[in-house]
Structure 1
Amino acid sequence: MKNLIFANSDFAPTRRQVLGLGMVIAGAAAINVVPGFQLLASAQAAVPPAAQKIADHFSSVKSMSGEFVQFGPKGEQTGGKFFLERPGKIRFNYDGSSNFRVISDGKSVVILNKKLKTSDLYPLSKTPLKLLLDDRIDLSGNRVKSVKEEDDLTTIQLSDKSVFGNARITMMFDPKSYELRQWTITDAQGKDTTVMIFNVKEGVSFAPDTFAIDYTANRELNTKTR
């Protein structure tokens, strides 16, 4: 993993790609092109025990940090470091001269590009990140669209129209350790944004301002650019 060479270290993801962030391995594809998925027949269909165990384990991890590589729909590639604290908090520090940042403080998600002096704010509740950052990963109702169990990977696909419309998230876990390996967000146009994580540490502590959003600066910056 240390020897990964970034195709474009200054690549700054688009806003759509950032809101489509999910933890996923390179090359993971949308559900409609991956064979072997077992579609759940109805909202009342039973969630496989392995999937529920994985979801419960991931929910129990209250904090983690590590490195990530992100792949855009056209193969764009970048990376950086991430920090996660449940519930609701995450931060992505992207490599490159754009000094790109994505921060969720539990209520809002801000997308910062200091090079371009842009700051875009969205409700966390309306982004796919919400399903990853909740206190509990909810597999109830009709959120689970498919589950695939293999010897080396368990894949769970979720969607929730009330959270992010027609987008969907596909999460991939190690079936033995239950650790999250990757996720893919497929947007309403069928385009994927993939993120792979590695060198992950669980149970870490963060400085109080790690997930802080400067709402005043955001407001002032957007007032100036109108």
Structure 2
Amino acid sequence: MGLALALALVPGMASAQALLPPGDLMQPQKPAQNSASAAPAPLPPHRPAGVQQAQAGGPAPQVAQAKPQGKPAAPAAASTPATPDGRASRSTIDRVTAYYNSVQSLTGTFTQVDPDGTKRTGDVYMQKPGRVRFQYDPPSPVELISNGQSVAVRDRRLNTQDITPLSQTPLRFLLAEQIDLATEPHVSAIYQDDTFISVLMQEQVPMIGTYRLLILFDAKTSALRQWIITDPQGYDTQVTLSNLQVNKRPDPKLFVINFERMLQ
């Protein structure tokens, strides 16, 4: 059974209410065509204009390039000014990259807004490289676990789980041990304003279409605040993090996938 189908069959939900993994991180799911609430969920008010253009299908500006001379700017508490078109400066990009690479684990809570506007909450645990657990609050029976190689979506009520290689999901970008935002080929643009440093990533998936991943970091602290996945049909799923504790190592047992469930 495919993952998208398995999630659509979560009992007690219409197809438009089917539970998506955080940020639709596994496969695209389109709300029901006959639902009046099938429009994309509202996005944060600080979404940069350049990102709106790129996500709408227009040309995405390239990441601001480093100056040919001089040493990279040291990490600072506040962002250096953006370029006239809103692109982040190289020193800002380097600062955010350095901070996110320094975060090797985190725990906290999340709020997810599905394409139909439904809100869900839960706990998140992350340990780089590649390990994460999203555990939804009741009454949802679903949890998503990555052990560094595979991603499992479990339904405790149905006692089922679906497995997908981590390498085939956008999760791998968020869970990479080290990433260079200035040179990562999937980064199409980085913008900044007074609230967010916004990193736009795009990936073409054969036979499916283009995923867009918008990652928002705090402009002052560089902390990861939110991400928005736009699926190939243009539907947005938004995840916002809160109550974060950084570099507090979670229990390794949280990231264990019981593959024997698939044999039962």
TM range (shorter): 0.7 to 0.9
2:132 alignment counterpart: 90
Change (3 A) 1:179 1:170: same
Secondary structure at the counterpart of residue 58 of structure 1 = helix
Higher relative contact order (CA 8 A, sep 6+): 1
Contact 1:20 1:186 in 2 (8 A): no
Amino acid at match of 1:143: H
Q: Say if 1:40 and 1:144, in contact at 8 Å, map to a contact too.
A: no
Counterpart of 2:187? 144
Output aligned runs, 1:28-177, within 5 Å.
Answer: 28=43, 35-37=49-51, 39-41=60-62, 48-139=90-181, 140-161=183-204, 166-177=210-221
What's the TM-score, normalizing by structure 1? Answer: 0.79
CA pair 53-162 structure 1, distance change in 2 beyond 3 A: farther
Tell me the equivalent position of 2:235: 191
Q: TM-score, normalised by structure 2?
A: 0.68
Aligned-pair RMSD on alpha carbons?
A: 2.8
Q: Report the number of matched residues.
A: 203
SS of match in other structure, 1:161: strand
Distance (whole Å) between structure 2 residues aligned to residue 191 and residue 41 of structure 1: 24
Deviations 1:60-79 (A, max 9, x none): 10110000000111111101
Structure exhibiting the larger radius of gyration computed from Cα positions: 2
1:65 aligned counterpart, secondary structure:
strand
CA shift, 1:154, in A, is 1.1
Does the 8 Å contact 2:124/2:134 carry over to 1?
yes
Q: Are 1:20 and 1:128, in contact at CA under 8 Å, matched by a contact in 2?
A: no
Cα deviation for residue 19 of structure 1 reads: 2.1
- Cα distance in structure 1, aligned partners of 2:194 and 2:232: 31
Residue 20 and residue 182 in structure 1: after superposition, are their counterparts in 2 closer, same or farther (change >3 A)?
A: farther
Change (3 A) 1:91 1:117: same
Residues 107-166 of structure 1 show CA distances to partners (whole Å, capped at 9, x for unaligned) of 000001111332110000000100000111232153221222111211111123379961
Percent identity between matched residues is: 31
**Where do 5+ consecutive residues of structure 2 fail to align?**
1-12, 29-40, 55-59, 67-88
Looking at structure 2, the residues matched to 18 and 115 of structure 1 have their Cα atoms a distance apart, in angstroms, of 22
Q: Distance in 1 between matches of 2:222 and 2:62?
A: 25
Q: Compare 74-83 and 158-167 and name the one that shifted more.
A: 158-167
CA contact (8 A) 2:126 2:250 kept: no
